[in-house]
Amino acid sequence: MNRTVQGFPEQAKTALKNEALQKAMGSTSGEFREKRAKAVQALPEFDELCEAATDIKKRVLDNLDYYLEQFETNVKRNGGQVHYARDGARAQEIVVALCQKHEATKVTKSKSMVTEEIELNHALEAVGIEVTETDLGEYIIQIAGETPSHIIGPALHMSEDEIAELFSDVHGTDKLEASDDRGAKLVREARGVLRDKFFASELCISGANFLVAETGSIAIVTNEGNADLCRLIPKHHIAVTGIEKIVPNLEDLGAMLRVLARSATGQAMTSYVTLVSGPNDLYQDPSFHVVLVDGKRSQALAEETREMLRCIRCGACMNHCPVYGAVGGHAYGWVYPGPIGAILSPSFLGLDSARHLPHASTLCGACGDVCPVRIPIPELLRHWREETYRQALTPVKERTIIRLWAWLAARPTIYGLVMRAGIHALKLLSKKGLIRRLPLVHEWTMHKDFPAPEGGKFTELWRKSEGHDNE
Ligand code: SF4
């Protein structure tokens, strides 16, 4: 299915009607929230750790050029090479050229959101390179021909039964019927298929959760150990990631890993943390390349939304978002869903195409509260909403209502009169305390009734309430 960021309203409606999706979402996002809450409770200094992680990321963004140069120097010293790509197309060219130079026709990949962002698999497959995703969730969506619906749980939208059916179709096996250990059997089946792919692999492509400037190392975190197999078996390794993933040194990496694991999966530490500091020394003439993708990040660095570049892709904001919880990740139409996706997509793809996304929020603030690197997500969403209005991207009706409201709000006496008349009119429109269809803004009553006002104006109620009689 071809989804787009422009298509959010329609995609969200479709998602709400999708019973299988609703069931899958209901059972998983609550689990993530509970695990995170327990992990945070078990670590009294969690808040201090988040402050430290935030300071590290701020320091890096303030001195990004310095740390990138330091990282590059140290990668070279370790025998590797750094390649800069201004956008996704250039990154694709670099990776394809490297694969061809190393005569690699079979490639294994460990999970990387940046390679999803730049659609690397399509570029590799277009030149005849066989690519196999080795993270279980990524493998599932790859063989299903899907895109990820969550940044740490790519196949979160699929039920166990759908996966059993998919494996049976693709692997040519009998479909496993529901049982207590069906999940474990499916994992074993995938492991068997992937093991052959690992041993046939001629080149590894990975992401990098962090880049350590002081040592020229990349850090990859997984819960399956697939990154280690991916990287250790073939002779060549290409890591693809964003320029903002730098941390200054190993001590800072430790702090980031502690908040990432707790925020993402509620673990004290991710099961596998792989530090790669150069080419695979099991071979003669191995190679290690790091492709650093800009993709509008340096532009964002100079804009009001630069704080979004602190994101460590833990997924906590989407796990706590009521909108994401209702519509799932695919409705957002691009690789980054949820609250952080609603900020990144307008920056990376342009506000005119992604203008609906910043409105896909109740602004309840839960995303900002749980973000381990203190990204003020609700403020950034509001920033994009203001920009949408300022750039005249909102529909004329909405703009007219906002202008009228602003004009009234600046004239308290007229505002009071209009409000009183409005309350009266709404009461007349109501039946049994509910309004079935609101005039002018009927979208609000398309899916639910609107409650009729019960009292008078808020300011009158406030004055009458205890202690405010004289205000
Ligand atoms: S914005 Fe914050 S909570 Fe959301 S994925 Fe990024 S780091 Fe995690």
pLDDT in tens, 248-293: 999 999 999 999 999 999 999 999 999 999 999 999 999 999 999 9
> Is pLDDT at 471 greater than 60 in this prediction?
no
> Is pLDDT at 24 greater than 90 in this prediction?
no
Instruction: Out of 113-127, 219-233, 425-439, 443-457, pick the least confident.
Output: 443-457
Cβ–ligand 1 contact at 317 (below 6 Å):
yes
If you measure from the C-alpha of residue 14 to the centroid of ligand 1, how many angstroms do you get, rounded to a whole number? 26
- Clarify whether residues 123 and 209 are in a common domain: yes
Percent of the chain with pLDDT over 90: 84
As a whole number, mean pLDDT of residues 321-335 equals: 95
> Is pLDDT at 469 greater than 60 in this prediction?
no
Does the residue 402 lie in any domain? no
Closest to 227 (Cα-Cα) out of 193, 202, 254, 198: 198
- Pairing verdict, β 246-247 and 434-435: unpaired
Q: Which of 317, 318, 343 to mutate to test the pocket of ligand 1 (most atoms within 8 A of CB)?
A: 317
* DSSP string covering 351-377: HHHHTTGGGS----SHHHHH-TT---H
- Clarify whether residues 339 and 420 are in a common domain: no
Task: Evaluate whether 79 touches 279 at the Cβ level (below 8 Å).
Answer: yes
Task: Evaluate whether 110 touches 227 at the Cβ level (below 8 Å).
Answer: yes
- Clarify whether residues 21 and 82 are in a common domain: no
Does the residue 107 lie in any domain? yes
CA pseudo-torsion sign 299, 302, 306, 311: positive
Task: Evaluate whether 140 touches 150 at the Cβ level (below 8 Å).
Answer: no
Helix axes 64-77, 46-62, angle to 10 degrees: 90
Does the residue 182 lie in any domain? yes
Residue with tokens 């009071």: 416
- Clarify whether residues 266 and 242 are in a common domain: yes
As a whole number, mean pLDDT of residues 426-448 equals: 87
What's the whole-number average pLDDT of the chain?
94
Q: Which of 367, 394, 421 is at the close of a domain? A: 394
Q: Which of 394, 419, 452 is at the close of a domain? A: 394
- Clarify whether residues 179 and 291 are in a common domain: yes
Q: Which atom of ligand 1 is nearest to the CA of 151?
A: 5
Does the residue 216 lie in any domain? yes
- Clarify whether residues 291 and 352 are in a common domain: no
Residue nearest to atom 6 of ligand 1 (CA): 311
Does the residue 161 lie in any domain? yes
- The CATH number of residue 345's host domain is 1.10.1060
- The CATH number of residue 176's host domain is 3.40.50.10420
Q: Which of 57, 262, 310, 340 to mutate to test the pocket of ligand 1 (most atoms within 8 A of CB)?
A: 340
- Write the DSSP symbol of residue 44: T
Does the residue 471 lie in any domain? no
C-alpha–C-alpha distance, residues 363 and 381, integer Å: 8
As a whole number, mean pLDDT of residues 330-336 equals: 96
Does the residue 7 lie in any domain? yes
Q: How confident is the model at residue 466 (pLDDT cuts 50, 70, 90)?
A: low
User: Which residue range(s) make up the domain with 17?
Assistant: 1-34+301-394
If you measure from the C-alpha of residue 420 to the centroid of ligand 1, how many angstroms do you get, rounded to a whole number? 43
Q: What per-residue confidence (pLDDT) applies to 448?
A: 85
- Clarify whether residues 150 and 255 are in a common domain: yes
- Clarify whether residues 134 and 230 are in a common domain: yes
- Clarify whether residues 444 and 352 are in a common domain: no
> Which residues is 291 bridged to in the sheet?
83, 240
Whole-model pTM: value is: 0.91
- Clarify whether residues 74 and 167 are in a common domain: yes
- Clarify whether residues 94 and 205 are in a common domain: yes
Does the residue 403 lie in any domain? no
Look at phi and psi of residue 53 and say left if phi exceeds 0, alpha if psi is from -120 to 50, else beta: alpha
> Is pLDDT at 160 greater than 60 in this prediction?
yes
Please give the tally of structural domains in the chain: 3
If you measure from the C-alpha of residue 263 to the centroid of ligand 1, how many angstroms do you get, rounded to a whole number? 9
End-to-end CA distance of the chain: 58
Q: How confident is the model at residue 454 (pLDDT cuts 50, 70, 90)?
A: confident
Q: Which of 295, 310, 331 is at the close of a domain? A: 295
Residue nearest to atom 3 of ligand 1 (CA): 371
C-alpha–C-alpha distance, residues 337 and 343, integer Å: 9
Buried b (16+ CB within 10 A) or exposed e, 125-144: eeeebebbbbbbbbbbbbbe
- Write the DSSP symbol of residue 431: B
Q: What per-residue confidence (pLDDT) applies to 468?
A: 63
Cβ–ligand 1 contact at 186 (below 6 Å):
no
Q: How confident is the model at residue 25 (pLDDT cuts 50, 70, 90)?
A: confident
> Is pLDDT at 461 greater than 70 in this prediction?
yes
- Clarify whether residues 171 and 314 are in a common domain: no
Task: Evaluate whether 148 touches 335 at the Cβ level (below 8 Å).
Answer: yes
> Which residues is 272 bridged to in the sheet?
222
Q: Which residue has the higher pLDDT, 102 or 432?
A: 102
